[in-house]
Structure 1
């Protein structure tokens, strides 16, 4: 996808949705899962991902769990209860937005 501005506004929704489905993930795992699910169309950079994760954490939607893996600490992110509610709300909002844009891009002929 050539215009990364389109997905940057949706990055927090993407993170919340992935964490709803997988319970907890670390940063690199998130980038690879998005790449896999989009067949390489979306490549999330660390420069975009970590500020989004930190903002979601600061807003109380994520909590961090440190885990030792191969003798190093890995930071896992998981949803809080508020994060679960926020994910549902943002997905509903995104679906309404997509429907609205579809009405502009692909209008249905009026029967008048």
Structure 2
């Protein structure tokens, strides 16, 4: 079940995991989605995460867009605007250096998850 909280007039939807647990992984999740799907827009990213995780992870706009803006400022992603009727949709795509960053971040997170698995595994009784 999702919990909804109000914080400074912004609404955050919390899935199965706490915001604190997800905070350090959101950038890697976004980068990996862009690597796998190519050009994506913000809402599409949030919906893809929700779909792939069966709703266990929900990325809010308040969490997503600061990361996308940082990635754009760093040169990790480029943006392209497309007009859909009267609305402008901003698409994000990995740059060549963004592909390298993604590979590094995904490897780092995979190794971290493996290490955490070791820490959380029950130790054999000797």
Coarse TM-score class (shorter-chain normalised): over 0.9
Report matched runs for 1:1-112 at 5 Å: 1-107=16-122, 109=124
Number of paired residues? 111
Instruction: State the Cα distance separating 1:95 from its structure 2 match.
Output: 0.8
CA distance in 2, matches of 1:61, 1:107: 39
Gaps (5+ residues) in structure 2?
1-15
TM-score where L is the length of structure 1? 0.93
* Runs of 4+ residues deviating >3 angstroms: 107-110
Instruction: State the Cα distance separating 1:108 from its structure 2 match.
Output: 5.4
Please state which structure has a larger fraction of its residues in helix: 1
TM-score where L is the length of structure 2? 0.83
Instruction: State the Cα distance separating 1:2 from its structure 2 match.
Output: 3.7
**Aligned-residue RMSD, C-alpha:** 1.4
CA distance in 1, matches of 2:76, 2:62: 20
CA deviation map 1:32-53 (0-9, x unaligned): 0000000001111110000010
Please state which structure has a larger fraction of its residues in strand: 2
Instruction: State the Cα distance separating 1:107 from its structure 2 match.
Output: 4.5
